[in-house]
Structure 1
Amino acid sequence: MSDVLRFSDVKLSFAGVKAIDGVDFTVGADELFAVIGPNGAGKTSIFNVISGVYRPQQGRVLLDDVDITGLRPDKVARLGVARTFQNVELFRQLTVVENLMLGRHHHMRYGTLAAIAWLGRARREELQNRARVEEIVDFLELAQWRRMPVGLLPYGVQKRVELGRALAMEPRLLLLDEPVAGMNLEETEDMARYILDIREELGIPMILVEHDMGLVMDLADRVLVVDFGVPVACGTPGEVQQNPDVIRAYLGETGVAEGMTA
């Protein structure tokens, strides 16, 4: 299994406080990789280093053997990294389709004059990108809401639209930051199904950060556990659940492994 991402011995500090301390992992080209840990463990900092928001003091991040360490977020996105956020980051006044079209921005090559004239290349590219967006609408079962402003939609549907916008970028790697946060059981089950469909039907490797341990253990191929920026364990869900260091990090000295499945 070839690696799409190498996150190598990364260290990141803020005013002497270590957010990431020697984290090292790889993500395979067909893998759903999860990063878990208590609040403040460094999970979001890992995502921010990958996506170019933070530049680490040490280590490298390679995407398909291209060094993306410290590149601007827009350049990282153009190279194929897409991301969803814990808090929904959509344009509430725009429709579902319009929000999804924003994910196609870096696929559009025509200039301002061509757009104003709405001729030739601009028209062709717009139609091609709208066709791609309609495929995502069907894939995520958003058709009934496609013309509605996203601010009027249920929270679970908004999270699905944000996922769709990331897919519209046609990413090489998809970063999912707590995709089921705030969802009820039915919405969580729906999102889990879409995540599996993305891997099996679209073949997009993913890194998942999530507090729902049941979801993580059901979906992930491998799990990295971090605590205070330090890697604690990395392995299959079964291996991680039984690791005594992981149990201590989550539950304290008296914790039991079964708590990881809650």
Structure 2
Amino acid sequence: MERVTAEGPLLEARELTLRFGGVTALDGVSFEVARGELFAVIGPNGAGKTSIFNCLGGVYRPQHGTITLEGNGLTGRAPAAVAAMGVARTFQNLGLFRHLTLIDNLMLGRHHLMRTGFVSGMVWWGKAKREEISHRAAVEEIVELLELEPYRSTPAGLLPYGVAKRAELGRALAMEPKLLLLDEPVAGMNLEETEDTARYLLEIRRELGLAMILVEHDMRLVMDLADRVLALDFGVAIGTGTPEEIQHDPRVIDAYLGGAA
């Protein structure tokens, strides 16, 4: 059951195969993501979820297969080039600069959109000044969207964990991506923080119409938010469908419960 718009899918991954020596991390995995879709990837530990993200982000280059974004090839491009084409990612382990304020961390997400050079930026006059003001205005919209106003000037290292995860999400949004990769966005969160994050993801989707790929172990979150789900087991795609279809797929049940069901 492929959800593809008349314009075609935003992202296409075809027959991705990734090997490390004698270990096959991905074995002919294919999937599509439509514009505005929230697509989830699930599977037990070691199933290949992070390997997919690393292939999409340019960290790994698959030995076989292709990845395209709006028809443009991503396979083999460097991470910076992939980001410039419109793919942003959050990380399970926080990647914030601890001694920079929340605003400064979000501004880093705008770096690839800035056009003025180092010297003009240092002088901070004319075009450079206008550009920074414009980018700060864009960052303030994200601060408002994610309700981060009380923490604008707080160093990232002093942020509560749930707020820091939200700030990392904000930095990814600051890149103005076409596709957002969410790597376990609620890992380590309590129930209240998890519910808040789910609300923000729904708000982002409603306000920005942004396509997202979610890797997450919290199955309640996945089943509540995702339009479609790809289930992996030992690098092999064992099922793709709606959350309801995946929950009743015998192969998925077997992979998660070892046949106990």
TM-score range, shorter chain: over 0.9
RMSD over equivalenced CA pairs, Å: 0.6
Number of equivalent positions:
255
SS in 2 for 1:171: coil
1:113 corresponds to: 119
| Residue among 166, 172, 176 paired with 2:172 | 166
- Please list the CA deviations of residues 89-138 of structure 1 after superposition, one character each: whole Å capped at 9, or x if unmatched: 10011111000000000011101111122111110110000000011000
Alpha-carbon distance in structure 2 between the residues aligned to 1:238 and 1:186: 25
Alignment partner, residue 54 of structure 1: 60
> 1:237 aligned to 243, 255, 259, which one?
243
Aligned residue among 18, 35, 39 for 2:24 = 18
1:187-243 CA distance string (max 9 Å, x none): 000000011111111100000000000000000000000011000100000000000
Distance 1:253 1:116 in 2: 62
Unmatched tracts of structure 2, length 5 or more: none
Q: Give every structure 1 segment of 4 or more consecutive aligned residues whose post-TM-superposition deviation is greater than 4 Å.
A: none
User: What does 1:123-138 align with in structure 2 at a 5 Å threshold?
Assistant: 123-138=129-144
Q: In 2, Cα distance between the equivalents of 1:112 and 1:254? A: 61
- Once residues 19 and 88 of structure 1 are traced to their aligned partners in structure 2, the CA distance between those partners, rounded to angstroms, is 24
Paired residue for 1:6, among 8, 12, 22?
A: 12
Alpha-carbon distance in structure 2 between the residues aligned to 1:231 and 1:97:
40
Structure 2 match to 1:97: 103
* Residue in 1 that maps onto 2:38: 32
Q: C-alpha separation between the residues in 2 aligned to 1:17 and 1:95?
A: 42
3-state SS of paired residue (2:10): strand
TM-score by length of 1: 0.96
Distance (whole Å) between structure 2 residues aligned to residue 115 and residue 10 of structure 1: 42
> Which residue of structure 2 lines up, in the alignment, with residue 184 of structure 1?
190
1 CA distance for matches of 2:188 and 2:92? 9
User: What pairs up with 1:208-219 in 2 under 5 angstroms?
Assistant: 208-219=214-225
Deviates more, 1:115-124 or 1:173-182: 115-124
Structure-2 separation of matches of 1:89 and 1:41: 24
SS in 2 for 1:3: coil
2:145 to 132, 135, 139: 139
TM-superposed CA distance for 1:6, in Å, is 0.2
Distance in 1, matches of 2:62 and 2:196, equals: 36
- The answer to whether residue 87 in structure 2 is matched with residue 81 in structure 1 is yes
Q: Percent identity?
A: 64
- Relative to the length of structure 2, the TM-score reads 0.97
Partner of 1:203: 209
Instruction: Give distance in 1, aligned partners of 2:215 and 2:170.
Output: 18
Aligned twin of 2:228: 222
- Quote the offset at 1:49 in angstroms: 0.2
